[in-house]
Structure 1
Amino acid sequence: MALSSGSWALPAPVPASSQQPACSGPAPAACCSTVLMSVRVSVSHSGIRPLCLPGAGSDSLRLQLSMDPNIAGEFRLALRDTSGNRSVFIAEFDLRSVQYEVKSSRCHEMRLAAAPLDCIRFNFRCDREAEAWSTVVLSSLREAHRVANINACESDGKHISEAAPDQRTSTSLLLIEELCSELSKAIEAGDIQAASQHASALARQKAVLTIQPSPKNYTDGEISLSVVVEDASSSCCVTVIVFPYMSVATLKQQVFLEYGFHPRVQRWVIGQCLCADPRSLASYGVQKDGDTAYLYLISARQARVTRQLFQQDLDNSLLASPLPLGSSLTSQVWRGYSTLPSKLPHNNQETGGGNNKASDIKDVLDFEKLHLNDRPNKANKTQQTDWACPSCTFINKPSRPGCEICATARPDLQTCIQQEKGRREDRREPGVSSS
């Protein structure tokens, strides 16, 4: 059972002040430290600088391990003379500057990692005390070296962060991953001090991170989200299977893959809030089946989405998240990338524009699977999409999730349909009476 220097990257040499010879009073570092364990030992020393160990071989010597609670990885190993009524520090060492090895059940050896490479052997009174001491000191030694390695990498963090991503060494990436894991554990455990230290270490390296809550924080299972899709001329209602922990950006990608609407043309409104990409659906109140969201589509020209950009992003998305066989986008060529399609003109209507008009129709998204509601074609598009506020009866534009006058929430789709039927009947009544 040994821990040698070969297992750990040696930190910078510890200043001579951290290795204190015999003195007449307690060391200042020990005064503000927390003692982890103290045991009686006898010692034998060999080295270039023999230590003055009064009472060596007797029961007056105590081996003491302490730590500074305010500094991570700061452990001190000290020898104290407790003969008579006094307590004198004979020697004290920074735990990062030593190698500690268990020689036998009652004999341990400590060597200094730097010159003059002194060696001290500790003999314990019983196996139980020796085993308990080795458990504490070896775990503390591992923690001290771990923090020392992190600090050593932090000192080079500036050079690492300025290098190109492909120039980062595997060691630095391993360190960043370890820090992220430790940060996650510290936050979950509520350890503010450790979390602050790990976050500071990552900040010094300017690591690019993606931080989001774990799915454990959200409602389990998928839910059916009712989505009202609208553009400047038409609307429909679809059901999208989502998870509450999904971000709005992920939802945009899902709609992109399933229906062909580029993320740039999508504007999501949930709970009268314009959704931001980083936030989760749960943060907007999406928790159960049937919750409603509104998807408003702007034109590709307004979103600056070209055919080339659309196809490139679609290919990348398909590679990252392959769709199951038979999916519409895997078997169809590129279709419209901007808005919901207008209804095709009747045969008795003029279709001006020639080839341009035919090209526009050809480029429209095949929207049959969205189950568009069968509505008669109307000359007045405003009547087709506007909705009446149930409180103040103000006629609102289709793009508003709430009333422009009184801020009342927009009624559901079924209520809008009933309102539209009522307005039609009101318009028919005068004509019926005149006949």
Structure 2
Amino acid sequence: MAVSSGCSTVLMSVRVSVRPLSVGSDSLRLQLSMNANRAGLFTLTLRHTDRGGRSVSLAEFDLRSVKYEIKSARSHEMRLNKPPHDSLTFTFRSEQEAQEWGTVMMSSLRESHRVANISHPSDDGEQNMKCGERNPSVLSLSMKEELCLELSRAIEAGDTHAAVHYATDLAKQQITLSIQPAPRDTDDTEISLAVVVEDASSSCCVTVKVLPHVTIASLKQQMFVEYGFHPRVQRWVIAQCLCSDGRSLASYGIYRDGDTAFLYLLSARHACLGQQQQQENGVSMLTAAAPLNATLGPTPAPSGPVSHDWRGYSTLPPRLSHSSTGSGGCGPEKHSVSDIINLEMLQLGSKHKSSNTQSGWSCPSCTFINKSTRPGCEICSTDRPNPPNHSGVQQEKARRSNQ
């Protein structure tokens, strides 16, 4: 607990043994104090207690003039910045005392150096100060960035006191921040994500190569570039949760090959997306994604497994249908920008398509739509429930003769 002494406040005091001094640890104490009247002024004092119980100061060090390093669980080292660069090694009685002292010490050291850099800038800092007089936002921006870095270091070190201090300073500036966990080493490995795409009348499955730390917003843009689904009509569901644009795939548990996500497509009307906005948003997003997809030609077929259930996929956009069927005999199909961003192709189950798919008869067992001339189901071989329509037979024969 902090103790006030005059204009100084003792933050912490602990027993240590010091090398190269030969004095025993029972009589030596490290004491860290701060000046209550001057921000950033911290003093490290080495005190000795004699047999009579009197405490005397052996040495005092300004934290701005020292370097402090944690060597092991019970051993710390302090070195002077200026010649002769003397060093002292402190050995603590227990790991718990060493850890508590290290937390308070490192927090105070960072604060003293931060204040020192602001009060006594280096040559580069003086140059920045001069530039800041002409453009005040330059110095302000550099200080804000430094506060963000200090906050990140404090959180990583588990220093709650420093984290609160830096977070408070940032809050006073009222600046906009984007705080996310740093990607882990395993997040740099690309995985195959199984995406089940559904709309009001159809569904299919495609495989998309992604990184676990990418956000849902980035994934929406990737699907727009590769398959033509505008981000405004995409709704992603992972682990029974409606995904937010700012969160990453890893935050929803997507780490391994074969993990599944569901993509539901809305119509342009439900997404409140006008034709002019479709054109503007589409052109801007394609321009931003140009480094990833230099040409607007057809996207290569997904390398992973594709859907095993292909019913009515002719209603899906040409990119998805073309890449999923895996037909290698056809030449590459060219798409213009208007073809890709035109959300009319997202109106799945339109009247024209419905009239084509419903021209046959529906199997009562598996609901597969068979040609009008088939006597039995093509999938499960169930007999046709009603006799063939004579007019339908004639229409089919006429169609074949025209071919």
Instruction: Give the alignment's TM-score, normalised by structure 2.
Output: 0.53
Which residue in 2 is equivalent to 1:332? 336
Runs of 4+ residues deviating >6 angstroms: 69-72, 77-85, 139-142, 148-151
Shift of 1:276: 1.8
Which residue in 1 is equivalent to 2:141? 173
Query: Take 2:15 and 2:118, find their aligned partners in 1: how far apart are those partners?
Result: 23
Question: Structure 1's 27 and 296: CA in aligned 2 closer, same or farther, altered over 3 A?
Answer: same
Question: Superposed, which structure 2 residues align to 1:159-170 within 5 Å?
Answer: 169-170=137-138
Contact 2:196 2:206 survives alignment (8 Å): yes
Equivalent position SS for 2:293 = coil
Contact 2:49 2:55 survives alignment (8 Å): yes
Shift of 1:265: 0.8
Question: Superposed, which structure 2 residues align to 1:271-420 within 5 Å?
Answer: 271-322=239-290, 323-328=292-297, 332-335=336-339, 336-337=342-343, 339=346, 341-342=348-349, 345=352, 377-378=357-358
Which amino acid in 1 is paired with 2:8?
A: A
Which amino acid in 2 is paired with 1:333?
A: V
Query: Take 2:233 and 2:149, find their aligned partners in 1: how far apart are those partners?
Result: 36
Question: Structure 1's 31 and 228: CA in aligned 2 closer, same or farther, altered over 3 A?
Answer: closer
Shift of 1:340: 5.2
Which amino acid in 2 is paired with 1:328?
A: G
**Percent of residue pairs identical:** 46
Question: Superposed, which structure 2 residues align to 1:24-63 within 5 Å?
Answer: 27=6, 29=8, 31-34=10-13
Which residue in 2 is equivalent to 1:75? 42
Question: Structure 1's 343 and 84: CA in aligned 2 closer, same or farther, altered over 3 A?
Answer: closer
Structure 1 runs not aligned, ≥5 long: 1-17, 19-25, 40-63, 102-126, 134-138, 152-166, 350-375, 385-417
Question: Structure 1's 218 and 310: CA in aligned 2 closer, same or farther, altered over 3 A?
Answer: farther
Which residue in 2 is equivalent to 1:428? 383
Which residue in 2 is equivalent to 1:263? 231
Question: Structure 1's 196 and 218: CA in aligned 2 closer, same or farther, altered over 3 A?
Answer: farther
Shift of 1:169: 0.8
Query: Take 2:15 and 2:117, find their aligned partners in 1: how far apart are those partners?
Result: 23
Query: Take 1:311 and 1:237, find their aligned partners in 2: how far apart are those partners?
Result: 27
Question: Superposed, which structure 2 residues align to 1:80-99 within 5 Å?
Answer: none
Query: Take 2:352 and 2:46, find their aligned partners in 1: how far apart are those partners?
Result: 96
Which residue in 2 is equivalent to 1:60? none
Question: Structure 1's 422 and 377: CA in aligned 2 closer, same or farther, altered over 3 A?
Answer: closer
Contact 1:235 1:340 survives alignment (8 Å): no
Query: Take 2:159 and 2:109, find their aligned partners in 1: how far apart are those partners?
Result: 21
Equivalent position SS for 2:276 = helix
Which residue in 2 is equivalent to 1:250? 218
Contact 2:32 2:43 survives alignment (8 Å): yes
Shift of 1:69: 12
Contact 2:196 2:203 survives alignment (8 Å): yes
Equivalent position SS for 2:343 = coil
Contact 1:33 1:69 survives alignment (8 Å): no
Higher radius of gyration, 1 or 2: 1
Equivalent position SS for 1:428 = coil
Structure 2 runs not aligned, ≥5 long: 19-29, 67-82, 89-106, 120-134, 299-333, 371-376, 388-403
Question: Structure 1's 289 and 78: CA in aligned 2 closer, same or farther, altered over 3 A?
Answer: closer
Structure of higher RCO (CA pairs closer than 8 Å, 6+ residues apart): 1
Aligned-pair Cα RMSD in Å: 5.1
Contact 1:66 1:77 survives alignment (8 Å): yes
Query: Take 1:140 and 1:32, find their aligned partners in 2: how far apart are those partners?
Result: 10
Which residue in 1 is equivalent to 2:70? none
Contact 2:147 2:166 survives alignment (8 Å): yes
Contact 2:197 2:205 survives alignment (8 Å): yes
Which residue in 2 is equivalent to 1:132? 87
Instruction: Give the alignment's TM-score, normalised by structure 1.
Output: 0.49
Question: Structure 1's 28 and 254: CA in aligned 2 closer, same or farther, altered over 3 A?
Answer: same
Question: Structure 1's 272 and 259: CA in aligned 2 closer, same or farther, altered over 3 A?
Answer: same
Shift of 1:251: 0.7
Aligned residues: 277
Contact 1:269 1:275 survives alignment (8 Å): yes
Shift of 1:146: 0.9
Question: Structure 1's 75 and 149: CA in aligned 2 closer, same or farther, altered over 3 A?
Answer: same
Contact 1:230 1:236 survives alignment (8 Å): yes
Shift of 1:199: 1.9
Which amino acid in 2 is paired with 1:198?
A: Y
Equivalent position SS for 2:357 = coil
Shift of 1:267: 0.9
